[in-house]
Structure 1
Amino acid sequence: MNIFSRFLIRNVFIGFAAAAGLLIPLFTTFNLINELEDVTPGGYLWTQALWVTLMTLPRTLIDLGPFVALFGGIIGLGQLSKSLELTAIRVAGVSIMQIARVILCAGLMLTVTFAALDEWVASPLQQYALRLKDAALAHSGKTDNAGNELWARNGNEFVTVKSLDEHNNPQGIEIFYYQPDLSLQSYIYARTATIDDKHTWTLHQVYQKTWSGDKESVKTTDSLHWHSVFTGMSLAELTMPGDSFSIVQLNRYIKYLQGSGQPSMEFRIALWQKLGRPILILAMILLAVPFTFGNAREPGLGSRLALGVVVGLLTYIAYQIAVNLGLLLSLNVQFTTLSLPVVLLLVALGLVWRFDKRH
């Protein structure tokens, strides 16, 4: 790596830092406002909301990765263009394609950093923050937002858990047993349960109803032992949203869902989105090159950043539409998550090649 490459990479990373410094406070403020809406007296406190917001900062940074790449590239190269240092590099015989390769190296460094941050920092911190919030909401009695409702299936047995309490014990358990002809054989409702071991729960305050032919019987009991179908992962993990999982956890969760006969497409999409994000980041950083050389006579960064905001927002909206359509229509997961990043990368490479030929 020659002196020009090190110089360009250093300035591009300064641009990354500047872009993150602009975006993170803005989106962190939005996140804090959303958290404060769930604050309850004696339950989820404002200090906990602040702590949860701070612990989800790495996740916010990763989600903003493509924007940081685009804006950081525009800022870094734009400053060099404004100070005529980029012109001096060009006069020294460095082509636009060579500059793009160096910028791509900086993008690869950024994607590796984000991947490591996602796997070992952002995911554990986000999960800890969500457990803290869920426990506080459960303690206050506000269980509507305390985690996600759990569903599981084992053959003809279907189970749902409404929520978890502050000790991660299940609440509001419903168990449905179906006969082979899909007629309901029995129904069990338990207000709470304690987890004895990996395979056994003790249900409390149990209401049980069974059907045999035309006869219906109802029974209530204080406790009942039940062989749990939630054996693949812990309940605390099962309540977490897909975007909070690391790649290892997503792989394990997908195998658990497929093994229990449950739909897994949402989490397969979450997994492939993590794999597609590096491609999107590389495409965005390459787009900074046409932004810089396309307005060579404009020394200011305002118009370039404004156009970058438009491109970034349109890309984000288009990607969300593609992912949701893929989930709704059950399209191929790889096509749904990778098509837009790959197309955008090819467009960026084409624009770089075009400007290299023109200049």
Structure 2
Amino acid sequence: MRTVRRLIWRDVLWSVMFVSVAFLSLFFFTDFLGELEDVSKRGYPIWAAVAGALLKQPVRFYELFPITVLIGTIYAMARLAESSEFTILRTGGLGPWRALSLLLSLGLIMAALTFVIGEYVAPYGDRQASALKARLRGANDLGGAGAWLKEHRPAMSAPAGAGSSPTGQGLAALGERNVSINVRGTDGAGKLSQIRIFEHDERGHLLRRIEAPTALVKPTADGSVWHLTAAVVSDWPADASMALQQRKVLELAWHTSLDERLVSAAVSPIDSMSTPELWRYTQHLNEQEQTAQRYELQFWKRVLYPFACIVMLALALPFAYLHARSGGISLKVFGGIMLGISFVLLNNVVGHLSLLRDWTPWLAALAPSLLYLALSMAAFVWLVRYR
């Protein structure tokens, strides 16, 4: 049994590696061409285009790995079937369920590899690519309306140094406060850019607005402090007959209970966030009564995506039981490519529909894998029992 496992695992792993290298080479070329546009328009050095394309490859590997597992396994199993090696293994005692268990045990290893790549390598590479662009451009625009954070400060229990004065003192005696923070971008040095802070009372009346071109976030024991440069503070008086008070502060220390990790997650692209960051940010959004479904869906996709490798291996096994006259290796590989593309399309369509229809995030993330697992088991049972 050990010899059979070594034979099958070796063929599958080499085939998956070959397909992965082929796909990554193709996507590296397309990413490099995309980076060359910035080289020509913005005058970046050519090494920046190469580095940017290379840093994207861990994300590409993570996204493509279940498909490359499917195509590589189909190729390996179809080649064993065409050369009659799989038939010899079957006559030697390799039953259908034992063959399935061999592939599923290999699938667990591939799922663990997918988890490590998606949890550590891919987010790190994506963050480094964003930081490289920010250093070259001078800023990294978050797009759209930027990133929004919210903070609720209860009456008489606000953190010290988070108040109404320009430096953030004296809020505890002023009642509840709801703070909305908008960040439009980041730069290569880790600073936030184009910050707007809106402070409302419990009735929703605007009390203060703070605008600053840059801010540096420093962690504290009870949250963080934002060092705003060239801040413009606008105070709305309680009496409508009084004039708006506006002042400029060269260096403003603004205290908040939002910790540095939460701020970093909010200004990061959703694809570059790790699973713990997605979980923390989702909890923060729920606590602040903000829409968190998009981040919940991404969290469950990140948790369940490694198991897609197991589903793809189970889906590839029935191809070993097809006779050689049922089609050559090229036809079976083409079928595997179509199955992989359909899985990606279904995964994306279900994700978008879940956001539109407000479906349960974990069920929407799990549905495509369950459907293809059921399809693979049905094909496997039909081929084994009736063919």
| TM-score, normalised relative to structure 1 | 0.89
Which residue does the alignment assign to 1:153? 150
Which residue does the alignment assign to 1:347? 375
Which residue does the alignment assign to 1:167? 189
Higher mean Cα deviation, 17-26 or 119-128?
119-128
Alignment partner of 1:37: what SS? Answer: helix
Shift, 1:148, TM fit: 8.8
Which residue does the alignment assign to 2:198? 176
Shift, 1:237, TM fit: 4.2
Alignment partner of 2:377: what SS? Answer: helix
Task: Say how many residue pairs are matched.
Answer: 356
Shift, 1:280, TM fit: 1.9
Unaligned runs of 5+ in 2: 153-177
Q: Name the amino acid aligned to 1:277.
A: Y
Higher mean Cα deviation, 176-185 or 70-79?
176-185
Which residue does the alignment assign to 1:5? 5
Equivalent of 1:297 in 308, 325, 331: 325
Which residue does the alignment assign to 1:120? 120
Q: Does 1:203 align with 2:228?
A: yes
Unaligned runs of 5+ in 1: none
Shift, 1:16, TM fit: 0.8
Shift, 1:64, TM fit: 0.5
- C-alpha distance in structure 1 between counterparts of 2:142 and 2:290, whole Å: 23
Which residue does the alignment assign to 1:245? 273
- C-alpha distance in structure 2 between counterparts of 1:113 and 1:205, whole Å: 47
Shift, 1:2, TM fit: 2.9
Preserved CA contact (<8 Å) 1:272 1:334: yes
Q: Deviations over 1:141-162 (max 9, x none)?
A: xx44689922111121101111
Change (3 A) 1:160 1:43: farther
| TM-score, normalised relative to structure 2 | 0.83
Preserved CA contact (<8 Å) 1:69 1:107: no
Which residue does the alignment assign to 2:34? 34
**RMSD after superposition:** 2.6
Which residue does the alignment assign to 2:244? 217
- C-alpha distance in structure 1 between counterparts of 2:92 and 2:7, whole Å: 14
Q: Does 1:271 align with 2:299?
A: yes
Alignment partner of 1:240: what SS? Answer: coil
Shift, 1:25, TM fit: 1.0
Change (3 A) 1:113 1:200: closer
Shift, 1:173, TM fit: 1.1
Which residue does the alignment assign to 2:342? 314
Q: Does 1:106 align with 2:106?
A: yes
Which residue does the alignment assign to 2:313? 285
